[in-house]
Amino acid sequence: LALAAAEARAQQVFYVDDNAAAGGTGGSGDPFQTIQAAANLANAGDTVIVRAGTYAGFNVVHSGALGAPVTFT
């Protein structure tokens, strides 16, 4: 049952911009301010688009899956 729910989940794209206001939702028009904020939510198959800037390090919270990596670009 849990596997079926995971397979049905739509892949998401999160955006990060170090010039964004704190508390963004991760959308292209309201990006996260830190890579960590995106990493906290990104799951297998998701993509995090990091706009040019200066960022602190981050820890990947959720792993990807075979054929569905978490991609940071």
Task: For 13-70, write each residue's pLDDT tens digit.
Answer: 999 999 999 999 999 999 999 999 999 999 999 999 999 999 999 999 898 999 999 9
What's the N-to-C CA distance of the chain in angstroms?
A: 32
Residues 62, 72: Cα–Cα separation, whole Å: 13
Position 5 pLDDT exceeds 70: no
User: What pTM, to 2 d.p., does this model score?
Assistant: 0.84
For residue 3, the model assigns a pLDDT of 53
Which letter does DSSP use for residue 11 in this model? P
Helix (H, G, I), strand (E, B) or coil at 30: strand
Task: Pick the more confident residue, 36 or 9.
Answer: 36
For residue 10, the model assigns a pLDDT of 85
